[in-house]
A and B are shown apart, each in its own frame.
Chain A
Amino acid sequence: GAVVSQHPSRVICKSGTSVKIECRSLDFQATTMFWYRQFPKQSLMLMATSNEGSKATYEQGVEKDKFLINHASLTLSTLTVTSAHPEDSSFYICSASSGTYGYTFGSGTRLTVV
């Protein structure tokens, strides 16, 4: 079946530094990738939608200069949290779509900013 690999699974960084999270579709081409943020015991909040080769579409309230998304190929999308602060600490999850209903999620990245 469709597999999405997300790395790293956990990262701790110092306040003010940047962190890059990778999301790869391993056995299919992902025309669209989604990035979510999830707080403890809450549902997934869509941050942005990216289509291969185009700029990402950000949801209202999500700072595009802080959360940089690159979707340079059909199998790779990256989310870079720039100048991270403690309030950016969260669980980030990517999802790749290859068809009408084919949504496969990565295993998530737990970001802790100290």
Chain B
Amino acid sequence: QKEVEQDPGPLSVPEGAIVSLNCTYSNSAFQYFMWYRQYSRKGPELLMYTYSSGNKEDGRFTAQVDKSSKYISLFIRDSQPSDSATYLCAMKGSGSARQLTFGSGTQLTVLP
């Protein structure tokens, strides 16, 4: 079983739709949770970073963490064609370990 599970999609939605992207994890040591967006043939860029359970909002993006269920989500409101990309969840534990553990990524297409 992978430490982080993410539905690879592909996910296709019409412009303006609300998108929900999810990851589950099995390692209770994970304390920091991130969402990255990766356009084709580019490096990932950080969208959201969260530490505690609950919601964090930034513009059209909301990150949600439920540590009790080991479940994290990213919501995109009013989705735009420019949101079309692969979204990767990533997480890490506390302490000296620094490497991130990534989900497999969800490919999203927002249709105009």
A interface residues (Cβ-Cβ under 8 A, vs B)? 4, 6, 32, 34, 41-44, 46, 49, 91, 93, 95, 97, 100-101, 103-108, 110
B68 within 8 A of A: no
Q: Enumerate B15-45 residues with CB–CB distance to A below 8 Å.
A: 32, 34, 36, 41-45
Other-chain residue from A93, A103, A107 in contact with B46 (beta carbon distance below 8 A)? A103
Q: With a CB–CB cut-off of 8 A, which chain B residues contact A103?
A: 34, 46, 90, 100
Residues of B within 8 A of A (CB): 6, 8, 32, 34, 36, 41-46, 49, 51, 88, 90, 92, 98-100, 102-105, 107
Residue of A nearest to B43 (CB): A105
* Residues in B whose Cβ lies below 8 Å from that of A43: 6, 88, 102-105
Q: A103-B34, A103-B46 are in contact. Are A108 and B107 (CB under 8 A)?
A: no
Closest chain B residue, CB of each to CB of A93: B43
With beta carbons under 8 angstroms apart, the residue of B43, B88, B98, B104 that contacts A107 is B43
CB distance from A97 to the nearest CB of B (A): 6
Q: Is the CB of B34 within 8 A of A101?
A: yes
Q: Let me know if A105 and B107 touch, CB within 8 A.
A: no
Chain A CB within 10 Å, residue with most, of B34, B44, B49, B102? B44
- Considering only CB atoms, which chain B residue lies closest to A4 in the complex? B43
Nearest A residue to B33 via CB reads A101
Residue of B nearest to A34 (CB): B99
Q: Out of A42, A44, A49, name the residue touching B44 (CB < 8 Å).
A: A44
